[in-house]
Structures are given as structure tokens and as C-alpha cells.
């Protein structure tokens, strides 16, 4: 049975709401400690899960060795002294107890176990390597640790407590749906799920996960929209006799190539740029153009995918067929210019996400 809900993740900047700089410094230090312990715990969990799954492949073990991954109390052939889920949890809790809240370790373990089982067939075939986690990873927490979430009119911000640390949101001049989603969550209209805290570039972000119902439209599964990602137009879609070309090659590439040219000029000029903080100071302009290009691509692809889904809704198409994608991807791989500038995979990801949100079934052909 299909779920009628969808989970949305929004990146929201938060600040620690404590009165003195010393208190804020101590709280930030605590967050960085939790992040470090989660990074180490995540790699431990991933390693143990992989060994457990692959132990049957250790053909060099003697025949008398049992390899069934089950609790020996429940199955006499089992080799574990506890449930399989609890094995990795106990490994990290025994090692990091007192250094990080157990709620974070429990949420981390649950997420990694679910993710591992999703890809375990690919691990077994050797098509995927074990995930390697980095020091700057975001760490999860459950809603049990999330308290007193409400809008404070005096501070003009949404406030909450996480493990007794007070936070408030900083939305700035936000033109997205973050503020609306937060208001609905504060009123109890939306459900908040296990979320993450991310520390990046000296800022703290709350990766909030909202669960809400899918959009309801008068769609008919029998009406099929055929879409293709072409070289002349980013998206071409057809429903019956109705056809729409979304974007053009010149319109998409002109601005992107202009940004790339500016970035190359900045790279050449970086040699003569005034130093002061070494490499970071010299490459400041280069990094700025790099971020500008990313933002431009993200903006255009969001616009193209939005137009596509709106066209499907307008014509009540309940099924979206992405045709001839393998051929297009093959062409992109052969032509370096196309592969580097066209962003096929990111556009397909955004199309599938928006289609799922609108209740449209996507079939790749």
C-alpha cells in the first residue's frame, strides 16, 4: 500500500540562545564533541554491520563454526548474545557512554542499520563500498530530546530545547516555505521526525524533517505524460496532443558558461592577489564564483522540474514516463562538454522528488 505522506527536509540556521559568550562557547564545544563522537561511532557501526553480513563469505573458517546471525537465546544456531540491532548499539554505547547522549547514538544506529539493509545486496555483489563518514557529518536526534518548540513573538524566532540546550532559529530574509512549515509544526498540523544538527563554517544548522500529506490533485493514472531530457531543451514533455518545451540550450548554458569564464579569470588573477591568510585569501574570488555556479544550476533545475510537474497536474497525468534516458546518458558520457554542463542526474532527481510530492508515479524508460 502506498504511503499518503512524504518527508521534507529543510536546512534552517539556528543559534544557541544563552545570555553570555562564555556559556555559548561551552555549548558550541559540546556540540562539536558530539559531532566528533558520532563520526567515530558511525564508522564503527558501518564496519561491524559489514563484517556481520559478510561472515558467511569467510570460507576459510572451520566447518564447526556457526555463522547464523541470531540471538543464541532464541535460536540455538545463533552466534550473537543479543539481538542484531542491539549489537552495534552496545558497541558504540560502551565506547562513548558519557561523551554523547545515548539518544543520539540510538538514532544514529537506527539510521545506519536501515541504510545498510537497503543496500546490502549491492555490498554482497561488490558493487558498492562501505560508507566512509567524515568528521563534519551531521548527527541525528529523536523527537524525545526535542522540547518546548514554539514561536516566541518577542524574539521573533522559533525556539526549542535540545538536550537542555536552548536554540532559536535565524531565518533572515527567507523566501522559501521554511517559515510556513515551522508555523504548522508549532501548531501541531505537521509532524516533526528524527532530524539532524550540522556544524559548518562556524554556523549551526538544524536539518528539520517534516512529515506531511502528499498534495492531492485530480490525477488519472491512465493519463501518461512522456518526458525526455534532450540536448536542445532541458525538458520536453508531451501529454496526448499537448506538448511543451521547457527551457532552451542557449538559455541554460549561456549564464553557466559566463560564470565558468569568470571563474577561470579569477583563477589566473589569484596568482597576483594580495595574500594575508594564505591560500584561502587568494582563492576567495574563485570560491565565490564556484558557489554562484552551484546556486544558478540549482535554481534553473528547480524551475524546469516545477514547470514539468505543473504541466502534468494541469493535464491530470498520474503517470510520468521518462523515456530514452539510457541513450541520453550514454551521449552525455561520450561528450565531455555535455556531461560537465548539462546536470542530467540532478535534474532527474528533482523531477522524481517533485513528482512523488504531487502523487505522480515516475517510470524511467
| Under 8 Å between Cβ of 4 and 213 | yes
Domain C-terminal end among 195, 213, 231? 213
Regarding whether 36 and 169 lie in a shared domain, the answer is yes
Q: What is the pLDDT of residue 339?
A: 44
Regarding whether 251 and 150 lie in a shared domain, the answer is no
pLDDT digits (tens, 9 = 90+) for 275-309: 666 677 777 777 888 888 888 888 888 888 898 88
Regarding whether 154 and 111 lie in a shared domain, the answer is yes
Torsion of CA 38, 42, 48, 50, to 10 degrees: 180
Overall number of domains in the chain: 2
**What is d(CA 301, CA 39) in angstroms, rounded to the nearest whole number?**
32
| Under 8 Å between Cβ of 235 and 309 | no
Regarding whether 226 and 209 lie in a shared domain, the answer is no
Regarding whether 257 and 199 lie in a shared domain, the answer is no
Regarding whether 233 and 145 lie in a shared domain, the answer is no
Q: Look up the CATH number of the domain holding residue 306.
A: 3.30.420
Q: What is the pLDDT of residue 362?
A: 85
Collect all residues with Cβ–Cβ distance below 8 Å to 287 and sequence separation of at least 6.
none
Count CB neighbours of 77 within 10 A: 9
Q: What is the pLDDT of residue 118?
A: 87
| Under 8 Å between Cβ of 273 and 281 | yes
Q: What is the pLDDT of residue 95?
A: 87
pLDDT digits (tens, 9 = 90+) for 302-344: 888 898 888 888 888 888 888 765 555 555 555 544 445 566 7
Q: What is the mean pLDDT of residues 149-156?
A: 90
Q: What is the pLDDT of residue 1?
A: 41
Give residue 117's domain range.
1-213
Percent of the chain with pLDDT over 70: 82
Regarding whether 155 and 21 lie in a shared domain, the answer is yes
pLDDT digits (tens, 9 = 90+) for 30-50: 999 999 999 999 999 888 888
Regarding whether 202 and 70 lie in a shared domain, the answer is yes
Q: Which residues of 148-163 are buried (b: 16+ CB within 10 A; e: fewer)?
A: ebeeeeeeebbbbebb
Residue 195 pLDDT > 70, yes or no?
Answer: yes
Q: What is the pLDDT of residue 211?
A: 87
pLDDT digits (tens, 9 = 90+) for 90-120: 888 888 888 999 899 999 999 988 888 888 8
Regarding whether 241 and 179 lie in a shared domain, the answer is no
Residue 121 burial (10 A CB sphere; 0-12, 13-18, 19+): exposed
* pLDDT grade for 166, boundaries at 50, 70 and 90: very high
pTM for the full predicted model: 0.73
Amino acid at each position: 500500500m502506498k504511503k499518503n505522506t512524504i518527508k521534507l527536509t529543510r536546512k534552517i540556521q539556528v543559534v544557541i540562545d544563552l545570555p553570555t559568550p562564555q556559556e555559548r562557547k561551552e555549548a558550541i564545544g559540546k556540540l562539536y564533541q558530539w559531532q566528533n563522537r558520532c563520526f567515530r561511532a558511525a564508522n564503527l557501526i558501518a564496519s561491524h554491520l559489514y563484517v556481520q553480513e559478510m561472515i558467511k563469505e569467510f570460507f576459510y573458517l572451520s566447518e564447526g563454526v556457526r555463522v547464523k546471525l541470531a540471538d543464541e537465546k532464541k535460536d540455538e544456531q545463533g552466534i550473537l548474545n543479543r539481538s542484531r540491532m542491539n549489537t552495534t548499539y552496545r558497541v558504540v554505547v560502551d565506547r562513548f557512554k558519557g561523551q554523547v547522549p545515548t539518544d543520539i547514538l540510538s538514532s544514529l544506529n537506527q539510521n545506519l542499520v536501515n541504510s545498510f539493509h537497503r543496500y546490502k545486496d549491492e555490498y554482497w555483489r561488490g558493487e558498492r563500498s562501505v560508507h566512509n563518514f567524515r568528521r563534519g557529518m551531521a548527527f541525528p536526534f529523536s523527537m524525545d530530546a526535542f522540547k518546548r518548540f514554539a514561536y516566541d513573538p518577542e524574539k521573533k524566532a522559533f525556539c526549542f530545547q535540545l538536550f537542555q540546550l536552548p536554540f532559536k532559529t535565524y531565518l533572515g530574509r527567507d523566501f522559501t516555505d521554511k517559515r510556513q512549515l515551522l508555523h504548522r509544526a508549532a501548531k501541531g498540523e505537521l509532524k516533526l521526525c528524527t532530524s539532524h544538527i550540522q556544524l559548518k563554517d562556524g554556523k549551526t544548522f538544524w536539518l528539520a524533517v517534516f512529515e506531511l500529506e502528499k498534495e492531492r490533485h485530480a490525477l488519472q493514472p491512465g493519463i501518461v505524460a512522456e518526458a525526455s531530457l534532450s540536448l536542445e531543451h532541458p525538458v520536453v514533455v508531451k501529454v496526448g496532443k499537448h506538448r511543451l518545451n521547457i527551457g532552451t540550450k542557449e538559455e541554460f548554458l549561456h549564464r553557466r558558461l559566463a560564470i565558468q569564464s569568470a571563474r577561470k579569470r579569477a583563477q589566473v588573477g589569484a596568482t597576483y592577489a594580495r595574500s594575508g591568510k594564505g591560500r584561502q585569501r587568494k582563492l576567495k574570488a574563485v570560491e565565490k564564483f564556484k558557489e554562484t555556479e552551484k546556486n544558478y544550476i540549482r535554481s534553473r533545475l528547480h524551475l524546469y522540474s516545477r514547470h514539468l510537474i505543473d504541466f502534468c497536474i494541469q493535464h491530470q497525468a498520474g503517470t510520468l514516463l521518462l523515456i530514452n534516458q539510457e541513450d541520453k546518458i550514454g551521449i552525455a558520457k561520450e561528450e565531455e562538454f555535455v556531461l560537465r554542463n548539462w546536470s542530467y542526474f540532478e535534474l532527474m532527481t528533482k523531477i522524481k522528488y517533485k513528482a512523488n510530492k504531487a502523487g505522480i508515479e515516475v517510470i524511467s524508460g
